[in-house]
């Protein structure tokens, strides 16, 4: 009998005590290691040991898994960088695009609004796919769409075609931006995950800065703004080939050693709605995105008009526009990098204790909240001084950038540790939808409308600068809301993190049984259709405590 049951996952052992009814004790003898559980392989069978995956390097013995994970991370960071390069290349050449298509500020804001609207609509779709299908191919499909659409936007002869192409760019970026952080979460865990997320999101300000620099420089060198748009898709083709042929999709929950079970999309969404930290963090991030969207889009144009006002010129020379865009690119690059790194390091140090400051497990949302509030005075001073003495204005722009990006990596880290691995893509997608719908999908267009209304029919540099200056005071006030929401999140983050850890590791015995069969009922303790509790599983040599089934 012992030999017959050696390969069984659960072995029934009958024990009879005098005066007591017989009961069945299920001894959890040979549970498969948590790190190899894949939610797609929920029903164990005889072929299960051969079908399981361990990590992205499991099929290749030529390279250690950790090395391949790091290389995969490097490619994801590079893709994140060129995505933001493309997005802010358009911002750096906005005045040239407006001149080429003969459009006003409101139409200029409509470019980014169209892009972000399609980006946010596509995000939940790719979030659903990213939680259920091979993420490598989801990312690859998005990259193909992105590359083709960027090329199309550089050859379009009409503003309508240009808008359509930028809309498709948004769809392509949604696939990557939604799924990539979940891949990282399955390659690394704990403090290591926080560090790599810091590096991943450091690509955002660096890419944004490079977008301003490359877009303005290439446009100035070639004399055509279209060539400024063609740099990033060429680089993207190289990384697309690497993604398709060099890497595999890691197992969901691998890094967290998590037990996962199948859930419906409705269950996922309802579950996320019951996590206060997730709700408040999403609202705080949305407030910050409203600000960063309007600033990143309109600051170069505002600064160029400020230069024209200071020098008494209504038509700003091309070399000045390029210089202003390059300056803002450098400020975004350096300030953003400092902000992302400083914010992540400060949060990690504060969690463990920072000098005389005691350890605070609520440090993550608190750092985000303080960053939003500290950006309020620096942004106001930037808008007030840039039209009087531009170097001083640039200094406050630099400080504002540092403050508003403190939360970028931290916010994603919070989402990853308060949600289960099989819901993370959906969580990021819903946050993306909310942040862009109420954030940078609307803010550039709203600022453009306000600017046009304030300026009227006056086309001077002074009128254009003052109109944008007054319009940009609106996002300055929104920063206060961001700080409030992050502080509210700090009241719940400890409890939500602990709940998620318990859920992932099946600390409740019924949850472990439910993992193997969602349909297991009180009167039917089967492991699936036609399979009893003696279904075969790989031997592990581990004998945890028994689970008693009454």
Q: Considering the domain 65-501 in this protein, what is its CATH number? A: 1.20.1250.20
Per-residue tokens: 331: 């400020």
Predicted local distance difference test score (pLDDT) of residue 546: 34
The burial of 259, by beta-carbon neighbours within 10 Å (0-12 exposed, 13-18 middle, 19 or more buried), is given as: buried
Question: Percent of the chain, pLDDT > 70?
Answer: 77
Lowest-pLDDT choice from 164-168, 206-210, 346-350, 404-408: 206-210
Structural domain boundaries of the chain?
A: 1-44+523-550, 65-501
Exposed / middle / buried, residue 356 (Cβ in 10 Å: 0-12, 13-18, 19+): exposed
Q: What is the pLDDT of residues 391-408, one digit of tens each?
A: 999 999 999 999 999 988
What's the pLDDT tens digit per position in 139-152? 888 899 999 999 99
Helix 390-404, helix 318-352: angle, nearest 10: 40
Ranked by mean pLDDT, the top range of 81-90, 211-220, 371-380, 428-437 is 371-380
> CA end-to-end span of the chain, whole Å?
24
The secondary structure of 73-134 as a DSSP string is: HHHHHHHHHHHHHHHHHHHHTHHHHHHHHT--HHHHHHHHHHHHHHHHHHHHHHHHHHTTS-
User: How big is the CA angle at 403 (ends 398 and 404), to the nearest 5 degrees?
Assistant: 100
- Least trusted range by pLDDT, from 189-193, 345-349, 397-401, 411-415: 189-193
Predicted local confidence at residue 376, as pLDDT: 95
State the Cα–Cα distance between residues 24 and 243, nearest whole angstrom. 50
What is the per-residue pLDDT across 149-189, written as a single tens digit (0 to 9) for each?
Answer: 999 988 888 888 999 999 999 898 888 888 888 888 778 87
Interior/surface letters 83-113, b for 16+ CB within 10 angstroms, e for the rest: bbbbbbbbbbbbbbbbeebebebbbbbbbbb
Model confidence pLDDT, tens digit, residues 449-507: 899 899 888 778 888 888 999 999 999 999 999 999 999 999 999 898 888 877 765 55
The Cα 522–Cα 520 span in angstroms is 7
- Give pLDDT, residue 80: 87
Q: pLDDT > 90: what percent of the chain?
A: 19
pTM of this structure? 0.66
Using an 8 Å Cβ cutoff, are 293 and 116 in contact?
Answer: yes
Query: Which DSSP category does 12 fall into?
Result: E
Q: What does the alpha-carbon distance between residue 36 and residue 483 come to, in Å, rounded to a whole number?
A: 40
Q: Count other C-beta atoms under 10 Å from residue 140's C-beta.
A: 17
């Amino acid at each position: 009998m012992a030999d017959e049951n050696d390969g069984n996952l659960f072995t029934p052992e009958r024990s009879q005590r005098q005066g007591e009814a017989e009961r069945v004790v299920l001894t959890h003898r040979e549970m498969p290691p948590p790190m190899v559980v894949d939610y797609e392989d929920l029903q164990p069978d005889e072929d299960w040991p051969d079908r399981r995956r361990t990590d992205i390097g499991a099929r290749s013995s030529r390279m250690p898994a950790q090395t391949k994970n790091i290389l995969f991370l490097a490619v994801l960071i590079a893709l994140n960088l060129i995505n933001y390069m493309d997005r802010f290349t358009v911002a750096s050449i906005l005045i040239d695009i407006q001149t080429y298509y003969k459009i006003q500020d409101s139409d200029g804001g409509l470019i980014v609004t169209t892009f972000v609207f399609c980006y946010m609509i596509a995000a939940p779709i790719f979030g659903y796919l990213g939680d259920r299908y091979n993420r490598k191919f989801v990312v690859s499909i998005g990259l193909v769409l992105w590359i083709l659409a960027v090329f199309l936007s550089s050859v379009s002869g009409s503003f309508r075609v240009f808008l359509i192409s930028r809309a498709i760019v948004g769809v392509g970026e949604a696939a990557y931006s939604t799924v990539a952080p979940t891949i990282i979460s399955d390659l690394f865990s704990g403090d290591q995950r926080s560090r790599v997320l810091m590096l991943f999101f450091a690509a955002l300000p660096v890419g944004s800065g490079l977008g301003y620099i490359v877009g303005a420089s290439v446009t100035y060198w070639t004399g055509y703004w279209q060539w400024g748009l063609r740099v990033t898709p060429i680089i993207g083709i190289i990384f697309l080939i690497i993604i398709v042929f060099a890497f595999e999709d890691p197992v969901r929950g691998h890094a967290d050693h998590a037990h996962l079970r199948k859930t419906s999309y409705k269950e996922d969404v309802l579950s996320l709605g019951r996590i206060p930290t997730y709700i408040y963090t999403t609202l705080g991030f949305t407030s910050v995105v409203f600000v960063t969207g309007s600033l990143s889009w309109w600051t170069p144009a505002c600064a160029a008009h400020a230069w024209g006002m200071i020098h008494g010129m209504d038509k700003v020379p091309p070399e000045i526009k390029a210089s202003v865009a390059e300056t803002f690119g450098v400020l975004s690059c350096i300030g953003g990098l400092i902000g992302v790194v400083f914010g992540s390091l400060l949060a990690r140090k504060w969690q463990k204790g920072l000098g005389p400051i005691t350890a605070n497990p609520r440090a993550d949302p608190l750092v985000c909240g303080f960053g939003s509030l500290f950006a309020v005075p620096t942004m106001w001073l930037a808008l007030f001084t840039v039209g009087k003495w531009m170097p001083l204005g640039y200094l406050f722009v630099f400080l504002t950038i540092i403050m508003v990006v403190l939360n970028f990596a931290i916010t994603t880290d919070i989402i990853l540790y308060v949600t289960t691995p099989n819901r993370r893509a959906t969580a990021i997608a819903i946050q993306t939808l909310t942040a862009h719908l109420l954030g940078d999908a609307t803010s550039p267009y709203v600022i453009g409308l306000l600017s046009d209304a304030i300026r009227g029919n006056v086309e001077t540099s002074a009128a254009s600068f003052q109109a944008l200056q007054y319009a940009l005071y609106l996002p300055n006030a929104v920063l206060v809301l961001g700080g409030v929401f992050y502080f509210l999140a700090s009241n719940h983050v400890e409890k939500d993190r602990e709940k998620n850890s318990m859920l992932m590791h099946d600390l409740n015995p019924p949850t472990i049984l439910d993992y193997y069969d969602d349909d297991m009922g009180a009167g039917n303790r089967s492991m699936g259709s036609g399979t009893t509790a003696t279904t075969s599983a790989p031997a592990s040599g581990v004998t945890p405590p028994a689970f008693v089934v009454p």
